[in-house]
Structure 1
């Protein structure tokens, strides 16, 4: 049975990948031993590839009453996250099966990362796109937006909604996270993997914030700070320490949040400003307040009312100050494996 000989009985996703992996390893062994056992290695590689070819052809062959035969699709996902040499060897192996009827390979990859692997292996002067064209016949990009009822919704937000539901993130945390990703993804590149990382980080937060026990008071400001720490660590790791230590500057906030003057201004010429984004303005001025920006004035007409009121447990009777909150939130809710616990 050719399927059994190729290790594909029963044929599943992991079985096919294992077979490809074995072929790649044989190819690598051949490259690593150019003289010793060359012919033996070459014969073994060709035999393995022929076994795999026969297995696939047998699987795709017409069955009883099926004149056309079956189509076989092998999905190779996240190839761009492998070692560059291994990823390119997999492509070379796959190329040998392009002539097998009704066999198709689907690669789930970041093409720019794959092009970088080609240049890393063959030099900066190579035309990486032309090289990959030998293996990739049709390219389909994931859409940036999806139709959601009567409006278009960005893919990262659609995926975020899916993950929040799948992982059971409570609404009092999910809503601020959704709003923060909406804002930050407009001014910064945010990938689907970034969304996975952020939701995973939130799902591992303290039970205190996720389950919200009746005896624990959680202010809106604390949750907003926690969400900002999670998002900045993923999207802008260069700014994360500054958010953590409440030392982020006005210009950094403008870059991170897309907080342009037009977006921040609530009115223009005595009329309501249609470009104004309350969510951006609220976060922008919140972090100006926490970072002790010398120009922050709560009575400024451009500053939303109630910025300081979202941090009620920081008062004149408390030894802590508002700018201590990011580190306090980090230690209590996010840094669960630290021996340090804030008191």
Structure 2
């Protein structure tokens, strides 16, 4: 499962360098029932350009940082000499932003190629290009499994994820999900302040090594614009509950409308607990099985699945469709107004 950390994780979305297509589309099997449809083996062997990110140079990205206000916000935290490293490996594009104050003397001499360590960067992002197929979605595969009444270990809610409803939603995704939209997947995003310390006001979130930078909204809004300029979409799979909350607040929707409705009902039911304890405490509690339904005694479960950013026009049409909204609303109505409790 890919990591995605709150601010040292993330808080909104975006990015990617549109390389040469990962797969050739000619003679592609049209049905997932074909054994060859899961992977296209005619992979382009020409390596992507090494010095660009989102087809942009390090110098251009530094200029974006200045114009967007990101550079100024970093300087307020004591980071006034930003350094950018861009690399591409195995078709994953990586952008790392550090500061000279975080590098050793040897690294400063060749700062464009510094070795990334857990405490010497401010921002680190890994993204991968996709021509996304519906049957590659974890959400779709989960629904197929849950269409079988005998599968129970993955059924996080018996009513919302009933076999018949899962089968119906799987068919919706199969027939309505856009045909291979150009997408970028955020495989890792970390915004962190390695010189800061956690406190009662800034408690550690699941997955964090250091406190965040406090620029999540600004940073991801900027990246969102960069992705949109390249006519790409964006999706991500949030490992932790609080990550998914951040994405949801930014407008992202789950690829499965059933999960979208479940998640919306869950976050609404959790509001009193989040107000009482904090989002951090509840995210830890869900991960540890300590948030329970008072009526059933069952722990609340967050199931990590793809969330789609509202950028690419075909994806926007999909998550805005009447059928998507209808399935999500029905799930929301079934799951809302739950009485939840955090076990100490």
The structure in which a higher percent of residues are helix is 1
Normalising by structure 2, we get a TM-score of 0.21
- Which structure has more RCO (C-alpha within 8 Å, separation ≥ 6)? 2
TM-score normalized with structure 1 length? 0.21
